[in-house]
Structure 1
């Protein structure tokens, strides 16, 4: 690679990393709001919140990287034009491929990184995140016992614990059970603990009483006890084997789902698999769109606002049908071929524009004007 190409490589790599970081940060902040429910309602630490949100980042990268590539190429080329660096290159007789080759190499590298995230890092990260969230929500201590707070584990049940000791003992227990309007009861105990039994989890309360209203007159009844066991087995309902979500499944699992998976869901799996294989190609498409917009035409002393606007329209025009093809593939697997053909057509067409002789003639005829004027 020549010195000019190395220079172009550095000029594009810097903005690429910057835009990737910014886009990731913005989307990460919006996505992290979904984890606040786990952190707040399950009394988790800030460290757990950060860990869970970081695990979700790989899911965003295959979508972010092509856009970061587009913005980086557009920014770098526009700046080089504004500072007349590219004009000097053209006037010195350099081919436009001195500029295009580094862009293509970076786009190929970004595509490879996109495949790495899409096929390996994303499913691994999402699986770990979902497993951790499942464990947190299944943890009875965090769900049921929160020191100094009134909690509502399920509708109609209110729990308060004044102190939660490290050894597992809890003190100052109040349980108000209003799940059955005809049998509302309040339990109070000096101490207790959570225990797992062969028949399910139990809250064992010591030295307390249970209070309820009886009869039409609503007379208060109080029953003192030395030990009372409160059934918590209902909290384990629905917490059996966790069903993996689409984002955490490996590619071979998407293409070969279990026989018990319904046909409609199978098609969604197939569409997701093809999306992971075709999505990273848009890094090349977006890079070529930005390159053609600024390199594939005449020099313009008044700037390239119009071309940049058209580049944005072309970018959305290239990507939105890709999302549509994925939706159609989820209904008809035969549509999967368009998920690859569409970006491939864009790549071939844009490369044709770059190598077409007409553009080379236009460039030679008009690119050197600013240098001549400044001489």
Structure 2
């Protein structure tokens, strides 16, 4: 690689590292705050919060890198122009197409980073995150077994615990199950224990009673049963419709391109939905070189101005907004109908076309103002 290309590439990579660090920090902190509030309210420890925020980091990085590439190329090109280095390169005979070569290499490098993330690291992180979410979802104590307040784990179910002893015993336990209006049951116990089994969590109540109220027409029958020990299946308190399916993003791209019956059963998604997720991953790395080229090419338009290149910067931002708008619109269309997954590639193709058109305009010889002179005076 020629020295001038290495110089431009080094400048852009340095700026890219700075912008990527700043943007990832902002996005990650914002995500971590919401996760912190949710997990702490569920009774999780700080280590669990740290683990969850770390698992969301690869996804945040994959989203931020194309934006950081655009910011680095736009800022770097502006600095080269303000320090007259870009003018010197053009005066030496380097066309916009030639100047764009190191920028394209820079964009491809960032695109490879994004590809590594979306095809390898993000699926692994999502798989681990899904498993940890399933473990926490099964932790009934963290969900609704809290002392001193009424809990509503499901619609029509009320639960109250007076106190939780250090050894895990729940003192003065109350549970009302009114999901069936015709059969209402109220459980009270002096003590209760949570026991985990292969079939799910079980609640063992001791020294209590069950009050069953049955309604038949206008008649109501109340029966009271006292017990020394009673086992209750806590899995019945969980709404079956709230059961989480495995996330498509936890699977590899190869499996999503050719989904099998097991994958579709675990995720509850269709084959078109799985293929759409795979093609979204395949298209995402192209956003980085497109964003980098937009930030560079737009700033080559127009001549020198004492007021800087703020107008070209606005054009670059506007072009990036158009490309991102097309990407969002395509995602919405694919979400409505997964068979429309080819629309995912419209955004990078339009962005590439804009870059080629802008470089062609920048490479055209500029006409002299006032037209060509008729000849030199004698």
**Unaligned residue ranges in structure 2 (runs of 5+):** 215-221, 370-378
How many Å apart are 1:226 and its aligned residue? Answer: 4.0
How many Å apart are 1:58 and its aligned residue? Answer: 2.4
Q: TM-score, normalised by structure 1?
A: 0.77
- What is the 5 A alignment of 1:49-198? 49-91=49-91, 99-146=99-146, 150-155=150-155, 156-160=157-161, 162-166=163-167, 169-179=168-178, 183=184, 185=186, 187-189=188-190, 191-196=191-196
Give secondary structure in 1 for the equivalent of 2:171: strand
Aligned equivalents of 2:228, 2:347: Cα separation in 1? 73
Residues 1:148 and 1:70: Cα distance change in structure 2 (over 3 Å): same
What residue in structure 1 maps to residue 373 of structure 2?
none
How many Å apart are 1:250 and its aligned residue? Answer: 1.8
Give secondary structure in 1 for the equivalent of 2:169: strand
Aligned equivalents of 1:339, 1:183: Cα separation in 2? 52
Residues 1:264 and 1:202: Cα distance change in structure 2 (over 3 Å): closer
Aligned equivalents of 2:344, 2:76: Cα separation in 1? 29
How many Å apart are 1:41 and its aligned residue? Answer: 4.7
- Give CA deviations for 1:272-296 in whole Å, capped at 9, x if unaligned: 2211111211211111111111134
Give secondary structure in 1 for the equivalent of 2:164: strand
Give secondary structure in 1 for the equivalent of 2:195: strand
How many Å apart are 1:118 and its aligned residue? Answer: 1.3
Aligned equivalents of 1:346, 1:30: Cα separation in 2? 29
Aligned equivalents of 1:85, 1:301: Cα separation in 2? 16
Aligned equivalents of 1:162, 1:226: Cα separation in 2? 20
Among candidates 251, 259, 268, match of residue 257 of structure 1: 259
- Give CA deviations for 1:232-255 in whole Å, capped at 9, x if unaligned: 241466499963222222212222
- What is the 5 A alignment of 1:1-375? 1-32=1-32, 35-36=35-36, 38-91=38-91, 99-146=99-146, 150-155=150-155, 156-160=157-161, 162-166=163-167, 169-179=168-178, 183=184, 185=186, 187-189=188-190, 191-196=191-196, 201-206=201-206, 208-210=207-209, 226-235=228-237, 238=240, 243-259=245-261, 261=264, 265-328=270-333, 331=337, 333=339, 336=342, 339-340=344-345, 343-344=348-349, 346-347=351-352, 350-351=355-356, 353-354=358-359, 356=360, 359=363, 361-362=365-366
Residues 1:306 and 1:49: Cα distance change in structure 2 (over 3 Å): same
Partners of 2:147 and 2:164 within 8 A in 1: yes
Partners of 2:96 and 2:363 within 8 A in 1: no
**Unaligned residue ranges in structure 1 (runs of 5+):** 367-375
How many Å apart are 1:88 and its aligned residue? Answer: 4.5
Aligned equivalents of 1:154, 1:70: Cα separation in 2? 48
Residues 1:97 and 1:161: Cα distance change in structure 2 (over 3 Å): farther
Residues 1:334 and 1:174: Cα distance change in structure 2 (over 3 Å): closer
Residues 1:21 and 1:76: Cα distance change in structure 2 (over 3 Å): same
Partners of 2:195 and 2:203 within 8 A in 1: yes
Residues 1:109 and 1:214: Cα distance change in structure 2 (over 3 Å): closer
Aligned equivalents of 2:52, 2:69: Cα separation in 1? 27
Aligned equivalents of 2:130, 2:70: Cα separation in 1? 32
- Give CA deviations for 1:89-108 in whole Å, capped at 9, x if unaligned: 44566665675333222211
Give secondary structure in 1 for the equivalent of 2:159: strand
Q: TM-score, normalised by structure 2?
A: 0.77
Residues 1:343 and 1:120: Cα distance change in structure 2 (over 3 Å): same
How many Å apart are 1:257 and its aligned residue? Answer: 2.1
Give secondary structure in 2 for the equivalent of 1:179: strand
- Tell me how many residue pairs correspond in the alignment: 357
Give secondary structure in 1 for the equivalent of 2:178: coil
Residues 1:229 and 1:37: Cα distance change in structure 2 (over 3 Å): farther
Partners of 1:138 and 1:239 within 8 A in 2: no
Aligned equivalents of 1:99, 1:199: Cα separation in 2? 65
Residues 1:24 and 1:353: Cα distance change in structure 2 (over 3 Å): same
